[in-house]
């Protein structure tokens, strides 16, 4: 049986995978003019984490950690842009989102959780 935090992380990465798949479809159908490589990269990363986490595979944990680092960097970059544009409320929300990913990283870095994936 997998622990409930890992199940919640699996649902989160499943939602990211679904959003990435929808964006990939929009790009492929021509509804959005954007490079497809970024949507495909997020799709591969999030789908891999979504599949690897509930199977307790070490590569699934690594993908989830890498994805959380990327999302933390993106959220903090967005917060910096919002501060520069004079929108401190949005910057605060973005920073709180980065904090959630820091909590995910701390959870996945615990020795007891790492032992599950060994």
What are the structural domain ranges in the chain?
4-116
Distance (Å, whole) CA 84 – CA 90: 11
Tens digits of residue pLDDT in 90-105 = 999 999 999 999 999 9
When pLDDT is cut at 50, 70 and 90, the band that residue 1 belongs to is confident
Distance (Å, whole) CA 52 – CA 10: 9
CB 54 within 8 A of CB 7: yes
Going from the C-alpha of 32 to that of each of 25, 64, 100, 101, the distances in angstroms are: 9, 28, 30, 28
Mean pLDDT of 25-48: 94
- Model pTM score: 0.89
């Amino acid at each position: 049986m997998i622990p409930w935090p890992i199940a919640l992380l699996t649902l989160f990465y499943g939602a990211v995978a679904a959003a990435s798949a929808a964006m990939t479809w929009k790009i492929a159908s021509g509804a959005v003019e954007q490079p497809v490589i970024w949507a495909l990269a997020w799709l591969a990363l999030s789908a891999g984490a979504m599949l690897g986490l509930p199977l307790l595979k070490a590569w699934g944990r690594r993908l989830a950690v890498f994805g959380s680092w990327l999302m933390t960097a993106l959220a903090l970059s967005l917060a910096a842009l919002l501060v520069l544009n004079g929108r401190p409320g949005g910057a605060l929300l973005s920073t709180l989102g980065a904090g959630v990913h820091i909590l995910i990283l701390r959870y996945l870095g615990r020795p007891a959780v790492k032992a599950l994936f060994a």
